[in-house]
A and B are shown apart, each in its own frame.
Chain A
Amino acid sequence: DIDNVGRKYHLKLVLEDIVEKDNIVNCTAEILYHLDNTNAAPDVHFEIEGELKNTEEQDNIFYNRIKSLKKELAAQNIPDSHGNMPPEMEPIRLLAQAAAGYVVWQNSTENTRYELAQIKHVRQLKRSDDYLEFDYMVLLHEFVSQEIIPWQMTVLWHPQHGVKVTQNSRQPKHAEH
């Protein structure tokens, strides 16, 4: 506890690659949850032991594939009710995971745990520059309250410039559902 500031956690953790289970990386982190202004995201500082996997080749393959599509990409329910999705949607899902990570960070408190539950729909937005842009509507699962929260995210991505969430907003839920 830090008086008048908040609460700091020192963490030692292991990062596991969800694509390649054997790929694990040790990590240490410091998280500060602010006392006042619960709208502020927690401060995060971290150090990774070693390097993260180089995904340049897969990134470029995905990038070129999307760039060469005749029509802008659009899809729904990734994965579907049975946990299935066409293999070509996997990078779209991973991109959503990365973008959702940012949204989750921005909305985390000591009493929340968010996971990306599903992509309800995603559509690619046309761009004149080199970036790929996707408008996602996802469902976040918040563990403590057990709520499923619809969330909109606009995501920019480029193989050399990484992921950026340019816009995101919590969406209203429907009463009976």
Chain B
Amino acid sequence: HQVLRIKASNEEQIQKLQLLETLEHLQLDFWLNPSSPALPVDVRIPFHSLQAVKVFLESNNIKYSILIEDLQVVLDEEKQDMAFSRQRERSTNTFDYGTYHSLASIYEELDNLAQEHSSIVSKLTIGESYEKRPLYVLKFSTGGTNRPAIWIDAGIHSREWITQASAIWIARKIASDYGSDPSVTSLLNKMDIFLLAVTNPDGYEFTHTENRMWRKTRSRNQGSLCIGVDPNRNWDAGFGDQFLLCSLSVLTGPGASSNPCSDSYHGPSANSEAEVKSVVDFIKNHGNIVAFLTLHSYSQLLMYPYGYKCTKPADYTELDSVGKAAASSIHSLYGTTFKVGNICSTIYQASGGSIDWSYDYGIKYSFAFELRDTGNYGFLLPASQIIPTAEETWLGLKTIMEHVRDNLY
């Protein structure tokens, strides 16, 4: 069967085509009926009527073109496409990466990823949260024994939903790009990647059930009605340090708060939080983590140490250059601008932060990202921005990882 597009040039020709419509023995199927010379007429013609119709059109000087040469071919292709997509849907593609998910849904997807890409992805439990939720890490590895590895975590602050959402997208990206993307392939042939998509599951659950703006863990504080510790003030790096603010000569110390009711409460002691301790123990036990990358939102910043002091780290020049390269990669996709610098001068003085600990522990490539946006929506970043954010963040992470791969120490 062929489909022709017919262009009548006047009313007379329209009438001729309308006559054609009445000839039932031709078994013509008009997809667009003849009505006015301004509009095209599309008609499906069975093989046996093709010659007759074409002769009719040509002898009446009615212009036409072939829209579909062979309809059967088109139908066969469509059938094949539909079969493939049904097959894909049964796997990871039922998970909508462009929307925010519950904890249970994310955990289910972690399982799916590990199952479907079992040759390179496995799921590990590195500990438990305060409320006994498992802390799941995806390990991306093509083998070897204790290869140098990259650590990536997201959602340490539960209200920063764009980070958990980006992390799960990035997980799928790494898994599906291995074998097809030269960069990811060469990376995983040399190194492993560990990804903790939800570092603070108790907090994340709380943001869904009770308070969307919850930041901290959900641990009980002795002698206080207030709950929770800021997990990114709880690391052993200048823990609890307060800062003298030069301008007002008053020790107001934004570094971290000693008040349990505060959103930046550092906790009773370093590593008091189960979530933090689990990561620290994992990293120490592994012994070969060469990069520590953590995702936060918002502000569009790419930072390296230090936060607990305003002096530059020893590797400042290299970290700054890698950071700038990563920011450039991020910018290349959608024009999103990230500022690069050390925590202290870029965002604020903060003590007990994760990348300060990892850097002082010996992990040279320690970076913290603050993802979109810069304050317009803040924590409530519209779901429509999840995939673009994940895509650009991935480019930034990849730039850093490529540098690490080529500069193992």
A interface residues, Cβ below 8 angstroms from B: 7, 18, 33, 79-84, 110-111, 115-118, 139, 141, 143-148, 175-177
Contacts and interface: CB of A to CB of B under 8 A. Distances in A.
Given A81-B212, A177-B210, A111 B378 contact: no
A144 B380 contact: no
A84 B383 contact: yes
A82 B207 CA distance: 11
Contacts of B380: 79-83, 117-118
Given A81-B207, A143-B347, 17 more contacts: A7-B247, A18-B376, A81-B212, A82-B100, A83-B385, A110-B247, A110-B248, A115-B375, A117-B378, A118-B212, A118-B380, A141-B213, A143-B348, A145-B254, A145-B262, A146-B263, A147-B262
Contact of A146 (B100, B210, B230): B230
Interface in B195-241: 207-208, 210-215, 225-227, 230
Interface in B352-409: 375-385
B210 A83 contact: no
Interface size class of B (residues with CB under 8 A): 35 or more
B294 interface: no
A82 B382 contact: yes
Contacts of A111: 245, 247-248, 252, 254
A84 B375 CA distance: 15
A115 B264 contact: no
A147 B263 contact: yes
Interface of B: 99-100, 161, 207-208, 210-215, 225-227, 230, 245, 247-248, 252, 254, 257, 261-264, 347-348, 375-385
A176 B264 CA distance: 15
> Which applies to chain B's interface (DSSP): helix, strand, loop or mixed?
loop
A80 B207 CA distance: 12
> Which applies to chain A's interface (DSSP): helix, strand, loop or mixed?
loop
A73 B21 CA distance: 56
> Which among A80, A81, A118, A175 has the highest number of chain B CB atoms within 10 Å?
A81
Nearest to B265: A146
The 5 A-B pairs with the shortest beta carbon distances in the complex, nearest first, are A83-B382, A115-B375, A146-B263, A83-B380, A148-B213
Nearest to A143: B348
A145 B230 CA distance: 11
Contact of A81 (B100, B230, B261): B100
B227 A176 contact: yes
A115 B297 CA distance: 13
A79 B226 CA distance: 27
Contact of B263 (A82, A84, A148): A148
B213 A144 contact: no
Contacts of A145: 254, 257, 262-264
Contacts of A143: 347-348
16 contacts: A7-B247, A79-B382, A80-B380, A81-B207, A81-B208, A83-B383, A84-B383, A111-B247, A117-B213, A117-B378, A117-B379, A144-B254, A145-B257, A146-B215, A175-B261, A176-B227
> Which among A82, A116, A146 has the highest number of chain B CB atoms within 10 Å?
A146
Contacts of B262: 145-147
Contacts of B257: 145
Nearest to A144: B254
A139 B382 contact: no
A144 B375 CA distance: 14
B29 to A, nearest CB: 41
B348 A175 contact: no
A144 B377 CA distance: 18
A129 B207 CA distance: 42
A175 B382 CA distance: 29
> Which among A82, A118, A147 has the highest number of chain B CB atoms within 10 Å?
A82
A175 B225 contact: yes
B211 A177 contact: yes
A176 B226 contact: yes
> Which among B225, B257, B379 has the highest number of chain A CB atoms within 10 Å?
B379
A79 B379 CA distance: 10
Nearest to A142: B263
A84 B383 CA distance: 7
Contacts of A177: 210-211, 214
Contacts of A115: 375, 378
Contact of A139 (B213, B215, B230, B348): B213
A148 B214 CA distance: 9
A79 B254 CA distance: 29
A148 B228 CA distance: 15
Nearest to B245: A111
Contacts of B381: 83
A139 B377 CA distance: 12
Given A145-B264, A175-B261, A82 B383 contact: yes
